Amino acid sequence: MTRYGMLINTRKCIGCYACRTACQRQNGLAADIDYIRYEEKETGKLPVVGIETVPIQCMHCEDAPCAKVCPTGATHIEEGGIVRVDESRCIGCKYCMTACPYQVRVHNKVTGVAEKCRLCTVGALDGTPMCSCVEACLTGARIFGDLDDPESEISRAIVELNAQPLAGDLTKSKIFYVR
């Protein structure tokens, strides 16, 4: 069985926002809606300091708090482990936004739907590549693939780079970070 995931290498990320722009374009998002947000963290000690840019998006959790609290089942986990939103079933209650420990759900004021990253699965259905953020990354800081295939690029990179979920095993995230 395929279990999709992503690795984000913050050592390579330069904070250029190309991933967010590609995501907005791929998903037809308004300029004020972002499925990827950024946190900047100071690193090092004086006199040698730097900034680590951490792009944060839906973690496609195996134990997804947003899906657990959704009263209509609009937020659900599909085959392949992708957490999806059925827009026709979303009532805009925002419970999922409150439950998400990563604060990556966004309320679309036009549609009333609480949206999030969908790993570009909509694009995959019409033949365009999944994860436009990966394709747009100028530094190769993102890898997408099958976590259940030990020979996949992502599985090898997780082991080699000791990549970890952002919040440990809190939600069994399928997005891994190199920091």
Residue 125 is predicted with a pLDDT of 57
Residue 1 is predicted with a pLDDT of 81
More confident call, 1 vs 169: 169
**Tokens matching residue 22:** 């590609």
CA 176 – CA 153 distance, rounded (Å): 13
pLDDT digits 0-9 by tens, 35-75: 999 999 999 999 999 999 999 999 999 999 999 999 999 99
pLDDT digits 0-9 by tens, 98-107: 999 999 999 9
Residue 120 is predicted with a pLDDT of 87
Residue 123 is predicted with a pLDDT of 55
Across the range 12-21, mean pLDDT stands at 97
50-64: burial string, b at 16+ Cβ within 10 Å, e else: eeebbbbbbbbbeeb
pTM: 0.93
Q: Under the phi-then-psi rule, with left for phi > 0, alpha for psi from -120 to 50, and beta for the rest, what region is 169?
A: alpha
Tell me how far CA of residue 127 lies from CA of 20, 48, 137, in angstroms. 21, 47, 20
Q: May I ask the CATH architecture of the domain 4-178?
A: 2-Layer Sandwich (3.30)
pLDDT digits 0-9 by tens, 131-178: 999 999 999 999 999 999 999 999 999 999 999 999 999 999 999 999
Q: Give the start-to-end residue ranges of the domains of the chain.
A: 4-178
Residue 22 has pLDDT above 60, yes or no: yes
pLDDT class for 122, splitting at 50, 70, 90? low
pLDDT class for 79, splitting at 50, 70, 90? confident
The 3 state secondary structure assigned to 83-132 is EEECCCCCCCCCHHHHHCCCCCCEECCCCCCEECCCCCHHHHHCCCCCCH
